[in-house]
Amino acid sequence: MTVPTDDLSSVRTLYREIEDVGYDRAFSFEAKHDPFLPLATAAEHTDHIQLGTAIAIAFARTPMTLANIGWDLQTLTGGRFTLGLGSQIAPHITQRFSMPWSDPVGRMRELVLGIRAIWDAWTDGTRLSFDGDFYTHTRMIPAFDPGPNEFGRPPILTAGFGPAMTAVSGEVADGFLVHPLNSRRSLLELTVPAIERGLAAAGRPALTDPASTFDLTAVTIVVTGRTAEELDRSREAVRQQLAFYGTTPAYRPVFDVHDRGELHPELKRRGAAGEWVAMAELIDDEFLEEIAVIGEPHEIAPKIRARLTGITDRVSLVNNRAPDPGHFAEVVAGLA
């Protein structure tokens, strides 16, 4: 799951609670806080749960800074770390982080390859020689070389939305983090074909090939509760989230798949007017039920299986605006 840690003081106990519930992996994410620091703390308070970022903003950093933090967290977690990276959008990269923006697809491909080149130099003792269009790393001296990692290289997952950014993951990454705005239909019509194109371009096994080790993680919105009031609260929180997603042009393809593409200009207009809560009324129940898995806790696991059968066996449960205080414990038990 993606861990709701707006309150950083909860990190010492929250990740352990999630481990005890039975989750296999817990992700931090980059919003109000740094995504890496909580994982260093979580490593000290957990024993076996995998820890990762979903996502850290790739273009706010360089291959070298990401290689260092990935190497260090792989060590601190005892080999339990996964580096999950996403691009963000141009205004945030240029105006919030004051970093360059150009050709995000090519930049993401090169950034992942650059990280791997640095890790190879540290592991094999070979000369660092990475000279790309966006990143150049050609200097490494013993004072800055941590040497091989006893736990090996951490996996790199990338995230994205459009077909080209999705395909890049199939080309160069160890897996893909599907954006929460997805449905079974969008996974089959948009996501999986793009991943397969990337895998084929790189000569890697297809998702359905038994030899495939590609980690396709379907981040899935869950609407649940044990009372009508709890269900309504969760449902309306997701309705607002989907309305927010609908203001972004890049997310329109999923709306188009479900014949809701005409909502985008109106949602964008209302968002610009600050009508963030009221505009949720434009998200109808049918579309809500296509995107989110909805039901009482005991109903969720079978619905998730039906949604993802034949696509992936990895699911990450989220409801950013109404996180379940029990961390979806009953759902996790039903999926075990």
List Cα–Cα distances, 84 to 2, 138, 275, in angstroms.
Answer: 12, 25, 32
**Tokens for 196?**
């397969």
In a domain, 187, yes or no: no
In a domain, 211, yes or no: no
Cβ within 8 Å of residue 187, ≥6 positions away: 178, 218, 308, 311
Q: Which domain holds residue 6?
A: 1-160
Helix (H) or strand (E) segment spanning residue 225 = none
In a domain, 40, yes or no: yes
In a domain, 232, yes or no: no
Strands 50-53, 81-86: pairing is parallel
Measured between alpha carbons, how far is 32 from 328 in angstroms, rounded to an integer?
23
Confidence band, pLDDT 50/70/90 cuts, at residue 27:
very high
Query: What's the pLDDT score for residue 325?
Result: 66
Q: What is the pLDDT of residues 169-197, one digit of tens each?
A: 999 999 999 999 999 999 999 999 999 99
* 224 backbone dihedrals φ, ψ, rounded to 5°: -150, 170
Count of the separate structural domains present in the chain: 1
Measured between alpha carbons, how far is 116 from 85 in angstroms, rounded to an integer?
14
Q: What is the mean pLDDT of residues 198-227?
A: 95
In a domain, 48, yes or no: yes
Length of the chain as a residue count = 336
Would you say residue 283 has pLDDT above 80?
yes
Measured between alpha carbons, how far is 198 from 164 in angstroms, rounded to an integer?
9
Query: What's the pLDDT score for residue 4?
Result: 78
Which domain CATH number covers 55?
A: 3.20.20.30
pTM for the model: 0.93
Measured between alpha carbons, how far is 65 from 56 in angstroms, rounded to an integer?
12
Under a CB-based contact definition with an 8 Å cutoff, are residues 335 and 306 in contact?
no
In a domain, 168, yes or no: no
| Beta-bridge partner residues of 178 | 160, 218
Q: What is the pLDDT of residues 43-82, one digit of tens each?
A: 999 999 999 999 999 999 999 999 999 999 999 999 999 9
Closest among 292, 158, 159 to 234, alpha carbons compared: 292
**Tokens for 226?**
């044990």
In a domain, 74, yes or no: yes
Closest among 44, 67, 57, 53 to 25, alpha carbons compared: 53
Q: What is the DSSP letter of 223?
A: E
In a domain, 155, yes or no: yes
